């Protein structure tokens, strides 16, 4: 288990380091202004659909269904064609009506800004079919306990964007955004290429090609598998989409605030997402195929034992990350972004947003761990209900807090939604099972460790401030 977690974590760390280099260049070249807002809007729309259709919902339903199917090749081919057709249709509609798509995600933009942003939105959306194909192949690789390719492939997207920024460094802001948009597409093509190579090396290409070859003849055999997949996918899609819908609402509401608010949310969220991806997402990805197998074979005790180890591993890491991120929020933001067009005021605004996000790191991270239990048990409907309540709480809090707190209120509302989501997930998982995990010496070690680590961080913060 830990080998797979460390593989994922190292790959994600490598990708995120490059991501921060990319953000550093972006902040330096574009700063926090209307053109940076436009690019983040253009890139957010395909990412929204990617996370709804591709990564979260698809993988969490696909792996249990794939492991259960007796005709895996035909099942894969059928599912791939259905989803790719839908995603290509959506992509074509966005390219035909880019201004409408832009207005949907950034209603606060005026007509002139929407007109400027529309071509960039159309270009960026072609990343969606590419990354769906990547996610599909990644699911097959995860079934074979191969995680390295998917973990490291995001680095290719960041490399592509860094090169785009380097080539566009002396150009106008509008040209820079064009370079970045085409860099997104090239990065997606590179990701797809390395996944195809991995599929071939593991011998899965024969399975997939055979599935396409015999799909017409054997499509009736997998009818029940496909129907069950479809019935589980739509609740899973909604359950996974709420986090992205809240991000969509963040952008929507922030577009009514001062210029740069969308960028403050983006930069703060990028920092927040590092420990979340490095620890929580890496752990859940590594754990999910094995948990799904144990529960499929009705061996719940082994599944719980793996979950218990992962829970404490994750709790210690996320607690340390929360303390570090909250206490050193200003220093982290200053170090990463304050240069070029990114001013000291931008640092101050991003810092408050980051602190509000960091308060939700522990519940967000642990929720990702426990929700996989529900998906492995094919309780997608329960997960969808939890997500609905969480989204409702976020919406109410965002509308309540945006007035007094501005853009940082949106981040705090997101944190409150995460806490509610975690609480409801534990109720479905089983409060007694969760309390059993807490009844050990690790709880005392955690409390003592947090006190000691907080003291060290405060001393370190005072030391750093003397040099800033």
Q: Tokens 């195809």 label which residue?
A: 196
What residues have CB less than 8 Å from 97, skipping those under 6 apart?
none
Q: What whole-number distance in Å separates Cα of residue 191 and Cα of residue 199?
A: 13
What residues have CB less than 8 Å from 17, skipping those under 6 apart?
none
Of 120, 106, 262, 132, the C-alpha closest to 181 is 120
Q: Residue 359: what pLDDT?
A: 92
Q: Are 48 and 244 in contact (CB under 8 A)?
A: yes
Q: Residue 160: what pLDDT?
A: 92
Torsion angle in degrees (nearest 10) through CA of 219, 225, 227, 233:
-120
Question: 55 is written with which tokens?
Answer: 């990564």
Q: Residue 192: what pLDDT?
A: 94
Query: Each residue's pLDDT tens digit in the chain (468 positions)?
Result: 556 667 767 777 787 788 778 877 887 777 767 787 788 878 876 776 666 654 567 777 787 778 777 778 888 888 888 889 988 998 999 899 888 888 877 766 778 888 888 888 899 989 989 988 998 998 888 878 787 888 788 889 889 999 998 888 777 878 888 899 999 999 999 999 999 999 999 888 888 888 888 776 666 777 777 777 877 777 777 776 677 677 778 778 887 887 778 888 888 988 898 888 888 887 887 787 778 778 777 778 888 888 888 889 889 999 999 999 998 898 888 888 877 777 888 888 899 999 999 999 999 999 988 988 888 787 878 888 898 899 899 999 999 998 888 889 999 999 999 999 999 999 999 998 888 888 877 778 888 888 888 888 777 777 676 666
Q: Residue 427: what pLDDT?
A: 92
Q: What whole-number distance in Å separates Cα of residue 150 and Cα of residue 284?
A: 14
Q: Residue 147: what pLDDT?
A: 79
Q: Residue 98: what pLDDT?
A: 86
Of 36, 246, 41, the C-alpha closest to 123 is 41
Q: Residue 3: what pLDDT?
A: 66
Q: Are 191 and 151 in contact (CB under 8 A)?
A: no
Q: Are 73 and 221 in contact (CB under 8 A)?
A: no
Q: Provide, for the chain, the percentages of residues in helix, strand and coil under a 3-state DSSP scheme, each rounded to the nearest 5.
A: 90, 0, 10
Q: What whole-number distance in Å separates Cα of residue 217 and Cα of residue 381?
A: 33
E-assigned strand segments in 259-413: none
Q: Residue 468: what pLDDT?
A: 60
Q: What whole-number distance in Å separates Cα of residue 330 and Cα of residue 442?
A: 31
Of 158, 345, 357, the C-alpha closest to 247 is 357
Q: Is 439 exposed, middle or buried (0-12, 13-18, 19+ CB in 10 A)?
A: exposed
């Amino acid at each position: 288990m830990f080998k797979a977690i460390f593989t994922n974590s190292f790959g994600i760390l490598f990708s995120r380091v490059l991501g921060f280099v990319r953000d550093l260049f972006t902040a330096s070249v574009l700063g926090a202004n209307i053109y940076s807002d436009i690019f983040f809007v253009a890139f957010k729309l395909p990412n929204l659909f990617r996370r709804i259709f591709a990564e979260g919902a698809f993988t969490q339903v696909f792996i249990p269904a794939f492991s259960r199917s007796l005709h895996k090749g035909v099942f894969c081919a059928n599912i791939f064609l259905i989803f790719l057709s839908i995603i290509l249709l959506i992509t074509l509609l966005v390219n035909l009506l880019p201004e409408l798509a832009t207005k949907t995600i950034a209603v606060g933009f005026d007509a002139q800004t929407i007109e400027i942003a529309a071509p960039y939105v159309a270009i960026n959306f072609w990343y969606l079919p590419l990354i769906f194909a990547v996610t599909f192949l990644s699911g097959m690789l995860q079934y074979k306990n191969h995680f390295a390719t998917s973990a490291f492939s995001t680095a290719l997207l960041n490399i592509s964007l860094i090169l785009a920024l380097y080539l566009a460094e002396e150009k106008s802001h509008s040209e820079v955004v064009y370079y970045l948009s085409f860099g997104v597409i090239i990065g997606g093509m590179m990701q797809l290429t390395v996944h195809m190579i991995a599929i071939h090396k593991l011998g899965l290409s024969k399975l997939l090609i055979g599935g396409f070859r015999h799909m017409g003849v054997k499509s009736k055999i997998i009818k029940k598998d496909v129907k069950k997949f479809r019935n589980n996918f739509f609740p899973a899609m909604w359950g996974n989409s709420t986090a992205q819908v809240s991000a969509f609402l963040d952008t929507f509401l922030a577009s009514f605030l001062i210029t740069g608010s969308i960028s403050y949310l983006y930069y703060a969220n990028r920092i927040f997402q590092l420990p979340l991806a490095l620890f929580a997402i890496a752990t859940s990805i590594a754990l999910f195929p094995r948990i799904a197998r144990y529960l499929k074979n009705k061996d719940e005790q082994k599944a719980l034992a793996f979950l218990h180890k992962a829970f404490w591993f994750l709790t210690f890491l996320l607690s340390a990350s929360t303390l570090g991120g909250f206490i050193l929020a200003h220093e982290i933001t200053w170090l990463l972004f304050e240069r070029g067009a990114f001013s000291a005021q931008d640092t101050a605004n991003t810092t408050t947003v980051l602190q509000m996000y960091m308060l939700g790191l522990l519940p967000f991270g642990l929720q990702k761990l426990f929700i996989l239990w529900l998906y492995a048990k094919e309780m997608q409907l329960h997960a969808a209900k939890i997500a609905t309540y969480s989204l409702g709480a976020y919406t109410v809090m965002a509308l309540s807090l945006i007035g007094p707190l501005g853009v940082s209120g949106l981040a705090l509302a997101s944190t409150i939604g995460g806490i509610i989501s975690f609480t409801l997930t534990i109720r479905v998982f089983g409060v007694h099972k969760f309390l059993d995990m807490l009844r050990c010496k690790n709880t005392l070690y955690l409390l003592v460790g947090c006190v000691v680590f907080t003291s060290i961080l405060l001393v370190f913060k005072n030391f750093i401030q003397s040099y800033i």
